[in-house]
Amino acid sequence: MKQPTRRKPLSGASATTKLPIVCTLPVPPVPPGADFSDAQSARWSELWTSAVAWLWGEPETGLVAAYVHLEAQLFNGSGTAATIREIKSLADSLGLSPQSRARMNVAIGEEK
């Protein structure tokens, strides 16, 4: 079943797109092979209901899954410096950091 399109069109360079605080679109299924723990599944849902999830579509499911997986490695003590670098890179790509949202001209808050 094809997931609804999430990606919101971004306005011109000077306009900031305001995202609703919560993404109300359905949370996509975890990609095959991800084999998430309960905590990782909860994090998956948390990310897909966050404001920036409005920017994501089907192509980002793998990136979000990788982010959740790497985050779990870091928190369980098996992460390395390379894990931290990759988490930062994925967070930047997905708009999870304030700096990446500023670069994307995206702000979190109710649309007016």
pTM of the model: 0.85
Give the pLDDT of residue 66: 98
Taking phi over 0 as left and psi of -120 to 50 as alpha, with beta for the rest, 2 belongs to beta
pLDDT at 111 over 60: no
Sign of the C-alpha dihedral computed for residues 108, 50, 1 and 104 taken in this order? positive
Residues 42-51 have a mean pLDDT of 98
Residues 52-80 have a mean pLDDT of 96
Centre a 10 Å sphere on the Cβ of residue 49 and count the other Cβ atoms it contains. 15
